[in-house]
C-alpha cells in the first residue's frame, strides 16, 4: 500500500524532522510512504473567523488538488473518531483489502481543515482529546501508522 501524508506547513525543529525520517525508514519495510507539504496561508497576528475560514478554504483547495484518484482519505481533525492502535490497524488493513492501493492522511494547519475537505474524506480521525503542538501530530501519526503495520504483520513492536 502507498501511504501519503499531506501536511500544511513545514516541520521546523530538527528533532521532529529526525523522528519523521526514522519512521519513514521503518515504514519502508511495509509500504511506500510519501510526505508532501503545502505552504500555510499567511494570517494576521489576531485573525478574524472570516480570515481563518478563507485561509482554510485556500489550503483545502491546494490539498484537494494533490489527492490521487481512488485513494482512501483520512482527515485529522478534532471532531474525528478516536481509535486505539489495534482498531486503527484493522481499519487501515480493511481499506487495503477493499482495493484501496493508497491511503492519504491529511494534517491541516493549527487552525484545522476546511469543511469541504473533511466532508470529502472517508474517515475523520482525532489523535486525542488532549492538545499537542501542531508539528508533533505528524510524528505521532507516523508512529501510529508504523505501529499499525507491526500489528497487521504480527511484529513485536506493539505491546
For helices 14-27 and 136-152, give the axis angle rounded to 10 degrees. 20
Residue 134: its pLDDT value, please?
81
Average confidence (pLDDT) over 124-147: 93
57-110 pLDDT, tens digit each: 999 999 999 999 999 999 999 999 999 999 999 999 999 999 999 999 999 998
Domain 2-152 fold is Alpha/beta knot (3.40.1280)
Answer yes or no: is pLDDT of 128 > 80: yes
CA distances from 61 to 29, 35, 73, 99, 127 (A): 32, 18, 15, 26, 24
Compute the distance between CA of residue 75 and CA of residue 117 in angstroms, rounded to an integer: 8
Q: Say whether pTM exceeds 0.85.
A: yes
Residue 132: its pLDDT value, please?
84
Compute the distance between CA of residue 113 and CA of residue 3 in angstroms, rounded to an integer: 19
Please count the other Cβ atoms lying within 10 Å of the Cβ belonging to residue 88: 20
CA distances from 36 to 39, 104, 151 (A): 10, 10, 26
Q: How sure is the predictor about 122, in pLDDT bands with cuts at 50, 70 and 90? A: very high
Amino acid at each position: 500500500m502507498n501511504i501519503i501524508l499531506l501536511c500544511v506547513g513545514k516541520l521546523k525543529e530538527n528533532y521532529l524532522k529526525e523522528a519523521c525520517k526514522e519512521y519513514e525508514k521503518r515504514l519502508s519495510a511495509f509500504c511506500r510512504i510519501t510526505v508532501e507539504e503545502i505552504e500555510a496561508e499567511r494570517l494576521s497576528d489576531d485573525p478574524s473567523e472570516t480570515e481563518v475560514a478563507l485561509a482554510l478554504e485556500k489550503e483545502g483547495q491546494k490539498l484537494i488538488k494533490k489527492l490521487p484518484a481512488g485513494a482512501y482519505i483520512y482527515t485529522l481533525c478534532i471532531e474525528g473518531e478516536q481509535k486505539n492502535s489495534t482498531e486503527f490497524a484493522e481499519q487501515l488493513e480493511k481499506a487495503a483489502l477493499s482495493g484501496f492501493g493508497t491511503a492519504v492522511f491529511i494534517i491541516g494547519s493549527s487552525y484545522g481543515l476546511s469543511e469541504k475537505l473533511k466532508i470529502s474524506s472517508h474517515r475523520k480521525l482525532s489523535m486525542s482529546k488532549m492538545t499537542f503542538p501542531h508539528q508533533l501530530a505528524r510524528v505521532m501519526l507516523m508512529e501510529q501508522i508504523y505501529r499499525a503495520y507491526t500489528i497487521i504483520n504480527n511484529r513485536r513492536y506493539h505491546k
